[in-house]
Structure formats: C-alpha cells, structure tokens
Amino acid sequence: MALEDVGIEAPEEAKQLVFNPSEEMQTVLMTRLAEMTEEELNALDEAITPKVMNVLVKFLPELQMLIEKIGQMKEEPEETMGALKGIA
C-alpha cells in the first residue's frame, strides 16, 4: 500500500529516507527489549521466524542493526538478552 493510496502525499526526500535506519529508533527498540521479562523475550524469539524476520527488517531496518549488536554481544562472555538469540 502506497501513501498515495490513503490520501497522503509524501515529499520525495522523505520517500528516499524512509528505509534508512535510525539510531534513535534502535535505542528505543533495545530499551523496550531490556524492559521485557524472560518469558516475553522467549515468546518473542519463538514468534520471529526467518520469514517473519525478513518482513520485519524491511519494515524496521533498525532491527538489522539491533541483531548485529546482539550478535556482537553473544561473542562476548557476558550473558545476552535472550530474545532474538536464534536469528542473529
């Protein structure tokens, strides 16, 4: 669905920037993950299949940045957050 289909005219520069990841959004997503319980993180991890992940990354490119950051954390001896552990 295009914005024009719902009566919204987006400026051309906004259309070009729309899929650029935002570090601010990445911080928001990481903060939200940090506030989830272990049970919620496990449910999220189970729900995000590779097929779903491809769509989510297109919708929220910040997720790719987040997954990479979590992947780097997994390489360190510290314990990771738990969610998204199967997709990084």
- Could you read off the pLDDT of 13-72 as tens digits, one per residue? 777 777 788 889 989 998 998 899 999 988 988 898 888 989 998 888 898 888 887 778
Please say if the pLDDT value at position 3 is more than 90. Answer: no
Which is more confidently placed, 36 or 74? 36
Question: Are residues 66 and 26 in contact, defined by beta-carbon separation less than 8 angstroms?
Answer: yes
pTM of the model: 0.61
pLDDT score of 65 = 83
CA distances from 56 to 28, 59, 66, 74 (A): 16, 5, 12, 22
